[in-house]
Amino acid sequence: MDHSLAFLSAGLGMGLAALGTAIGIGMLASKALEGMARQPEAAGDIRTGMILAIAFVEAIALYALVVCLILATKG
């Protein structure tokens, strides 16, 4: 069996996961800043929600990393 395909798919999978995570965090930060600009009195609540959402998005990236590492070592 060709191990290079396992490494290629693991790299591609992690690259796509990182891209999705970057887009998600960028959209979160953008919308949070828009919300803070529109309602400065709610900035603390918006920031708290944004940080919590970013933690969940990062968790998805870590799950993808684990899956890609497992895929790369199985090959």
pLDDT(40) > 90 = yes
What is the number of domains present in the chain? 1
pTM for this model (two decimals): 0.83
- Annotate the chain with three-state secondary structure: CCHHHHHHHHHHHHHHHHHHHHHHHHHHHHHHHHHHHHCHHHHHHHHHHHHHHHHHHHHHHHHHHHHHHHHHHHC
Mean pLDDT of 10-26: 95
Chain centre distance of CA 10: 16
Residue 53 belongs to domain spanning? 3-74
pLDDT(75) > 70 = no
Q: What is the pLDDT of residue 30?
A: 97
Q: What is the pLDDT of residue 2?
A: 73
Q: What is the pLDDT of residue 74?
A: 80
Confidence of residue 1 (pLDDT cuts 50, 70, 90): low
CATH of the domain at 9: 1.20.20.10
